[in-house]
Amino acid sequence: MKFPEKGLDKAKILDELKANQKRNWSFGSGRIFGSMCAMPLEVSIRAYTLFIESNLGNPGLYPATAEMEKKVVGMVGDLLHGKKVYGKVLSGGTEANISALWMYRNMARRKEVILPLHAHFSFKKACDLLGLKPVFVKVGGDYTVDIADMKRKISDNTLCAVAVAGSTELGVVDPVPEIGEICAERNLPLHVDAAFGGFVIPFLKACGRKIPDFDFLVKGVTSITVDPHKMGQSVMPSGILLTRENYWKYIEFSAPYLTSEIQSTLLGTRASGAVAGTYAAIKYLGFSGYLEIVRRCMAMTEFTCGIAKHHGIEPVVEPVMNILALRVKNARKVVKALHARQFFVSYGELTDSLRIVLMPYAGKKQIRELFEEGIVPLVQKS
């Protein structure tokens, strides 16, 4: 496409964009069953646009946004049992995970990262970028980390360990207290990836579900990723990295032309809308609002699991959170065929399963359609 010679009329541009937007799938379409992203709350969208022009990369110009970021970090830190935590609002789980490993690499200059097999692929990106070596740890029968294998894999060259609280594929939670003990004994940092689970587990626990501690309650946990743009119901792109101590100083760079003079984030210019959107979501929902959302998502997950079982399709594990992986023959092919029928579920590679994420926008009618018009006929054929 050629770069336009002259500018166009605003209305024409917007008409074109509206037409383009119609060709995209929306969460409201009832067809998206595999995304972990939130349909942001209206209050978050409004907050985002309100702060559209402020850049947190240059915080001296935007003191109100910088203060709001501190409050967001404080509130999420409080939710995750951190007394005094350090943190920043980043662009998502990938940036948060990369930043955690970056800090640890600069602290210790060792090479090996103890990585559960079910860890998100952003850790592979992080290792590649930072010149680190992933040392994969097996998962056990319940698909969480095999502690004995983890112990065997720790060496003098271990930089840090990663645990997952809400795995991408199954939503399972690693035994963080046991991993924390191992790491504390050996003086190793432990990063917990709770990108999805961070805004789910505290509320599941409040409902009385038995889930291991995963946050700063565990002594050995040194940092946590948690994404507002997933179950935090906030706008994209927003992720948070929290650290127990000020490890941010290990990734500080001089930024003499900016008001802050130093910067300790991977991105330079940072969207303040993400901070405002997240602040608004947390203030609007509060603990009780998130609790209600998580309750509804879990009820929908159980409803979906029930339908699957009714059709003779078993879950890989009984769902821990609102992620359901189903044992389906030729799962990859079935997932592709579902896409062709405009049902957007996803494929779970580790367990060769069909994966459904029950986000707040999932409705019973759409789930019934997914099974009756999509999954069941295809599974019967395959």
Ligand X SMILES: Cc1ncc(COP(=O)(O)O)c(C=O)c1O
174 near ligand X, judged by CB under 6 A? no
CA angle 260, 265, 266 (to 5 degrees): 135
Q: Which residues pair with 338 in a beta bridge?
A: none
Q: Does 320 bind ligand X (CB under 6 A)?
A: no
CB of 112 or CB of 227, closer to ligand X: 227
Residue among 94 and 353 whose Cβ is closer to ligand X:
94
Q: Which stretches of 268-341 are DSSP H helices?
A: 272-310, 331-340
Contact 194, 215 (CB under 8 A): yes
The SS3 of residue 313 is coil
CB of 35: closest distance to ligand X in angstroms? 9
* Number of shown-chain residues binding ligand X (CB under 6 A): 14
Q: How far is the CB of 97 from ligand X (least distance, A)?
A: 6
Q: Are 137 and 168 in contact (CB under 8 A)?
A: no
Q: Minimal distance in Å, beta carbon 64 to ligand X?
A: 26
| Residues from 216 through 275 that contact ligand X (CB under 6 A) | 227, 239
341 vs 343: CA distance, rounded Å: 6
Among 93, 175, 273, 315, binds ligand X (CB under 6 A): 93
CB of residue 87 vs ligand X: minimum separation in angstroms?
A: 16
Q: How far is the CB of 227 from ligand X (least distance, A)?
A: 5
313/325 with CB nearer ligand X: 325
> Which x/- pattern, by CB under 6 A, does the window 329-358 give for ligand X?
------------------------------
CA 100, CA 149: separation in Å to the nearest integer? Answer: 23
Residue carrying structure tokens 């740890």: 137
Which two structure tokens, joined as six digits, stand for 323? 């992620």
Choice from 33, 196, 279, 361 touching ligand X (CB under 6 A): 196
Residue type for 366, please? Q
Angstrom distance (rounded) from CA 318 to CA 376:
20
Name the one range near ligand X by CB under 6 A: 48-56, 93-101, 202-210, 350-358: 93-101
What pairing do the DSSP bridges indicate for beta strands 261-263 and 323-327?
Answer: unpaired
Among 36, 38, 56, 159, binds ligand X (CB under 6 A): 36
Q: Which CB atom, from 197 or from 315, has the smaller least distance to ligand X?
A: 197
Of 135-143, 192-200, 298-306, 332-340: span binding ligand X (CB under 6 A): 192-200
Structure tokens at 329: 């023959």
What is the token pair recorded at 225? 């990723």
